[in-house]
Amino acid sequence: MSTPKHIVSAAAVILNDEGNMLLIRGPRRGWEFPGGQVEEGESLTQAVIREVKEESGIEIEVIKFCGVFQNVTGCICNTLFLGRPIGGELTTSSESLEVGFYSINDALRMVTWKNFRQRIELCLDRSQHPFLIEF
């Protein structure tokens, strides 16, 4: 089997009924939206549902595809979805030192890793769906 040319990940901006956003605080990037690598044989939506559950304890419904971000030099394709919680309880994991729901304004201040804030803003801007960003 040959080595894949790209790594594919799936992540989600999760908004609850009060309009608050789910964030996790990871050990490497600080506060961010949950997500991770798509496993072999898994669809993008299956991957994001699994990753959100693993990292936050929250079960989600995927509402909308928001776009693809491609890191050409790192050979990474990041897919982003909008979702809403449908069950589960907030819990931490080895990938999430803290988890919680925060107002959108607070969440945008808390997320500081690279272009993650821009990704959130694009996902929340309905006029931008879907989009492709190369960096």
Whole-angstrom distance, CA of residue 48 vs CA of residue 53? 8
* pLDDT for 114: 84
Q: For position 132, what pLDDT does the model report? A: 47
pTM for this model (two decimals): 0.88
Q: What is the pLDDT of residue 125?
A: 86
Domains, the chain, in order of start with CATH, read: 7-134 (3.90.79.10)
Residues in the chain predicted with pLDDT less than 50, given as ranges, are: 132-135
Q: Please write the tens of the pLDDT for every residue from 56-77.
A: 999 999 999 998 888 766 678 8
